[in-house]
Amino acid sequence: MSFKDRVQNWVVQLFFEGPARRMGLAKVIQKLSESGEALKLRFVSLSAKESNLKTLRHIIAIERWGQSRLRVGLGEAFKQDESSAYQPAADLSLEELQEMFVKTRGETLAIAEELDQRKVDPTMTVPHNQFGPLTLLAWLRYLTTHAALEAKRTRA
């Protein structure tokens, strides 16, 4: 294992796998929901400048891409693709992107709840293009963390 791989594995364990495993699926889902509500409130106060629109499109794209990975736990086939395939159209308004984020996060929560209801093993792994195999728990933590960190780049 290369030094880069060891560092990457350490980052995954520190920020995604470890915290998600300690929380468990119910708490991870709760944090995903709480984060969605906080982001919804943050996004309402944004100006429609291009940098904010670009960030919102990116957050939505990653979330949709992550949903495709989570659905593997529900029996869908794994598809090796990039988040850019899930990018919202560049001509959408701020209001449309705000609504799209709320809808997208709601869909992520629905997938997470279905995983829980079906008693899918949350330690099942699905590949991430950069971080390698992530458990379903870590995927949910990744989506929560990614959106929150990216949102800090937005400005009113």
Question: What is the 8-class DSSP label of residue 13?
Answer: I
Cα–Cα distance for residue pair 72/79, rounded to 1 Å: 9
| Eight-state DSSP code of residue 89 | P
Structure tokens of 45? 């106060």
Element (H, E) at 135: strand 132-135
Closest of 98, 115, 109, 99 to residue 143, by C-alpha: 109
**What is the Rg, in whole angstroms, of the alpha carbon atoms belonging to the chain?**
15
User: Domains in the chain, ordered, with CATH?
Assistant: 3-151 (1.20.120.450)
Spatial separation of the C-alpha atoms in residues 19 and 11, rounded to whole Å: 11
> Tell me, what amino acid is at 147?
A
Contacts of 134 (CB under 8 A, 6+ apart): 12, 16, 17, 69, 125, 126, 127, 128, 142
Q: What is the pLDDT along the chain (156 residues), one digit of tens a residue?
A: 788 888 888 888 989 999 999 999 999 999 999 999 999 999 999 999 999 999 999 999 999 999 999 999 999 999 999 999 999 999 999 999 999 999 999 999 999 999 999 999 999 999 999 999 999 999 999 999 999 999 999 998
Phi, psi (deg, nearest 5) at residue 128: -110, 140
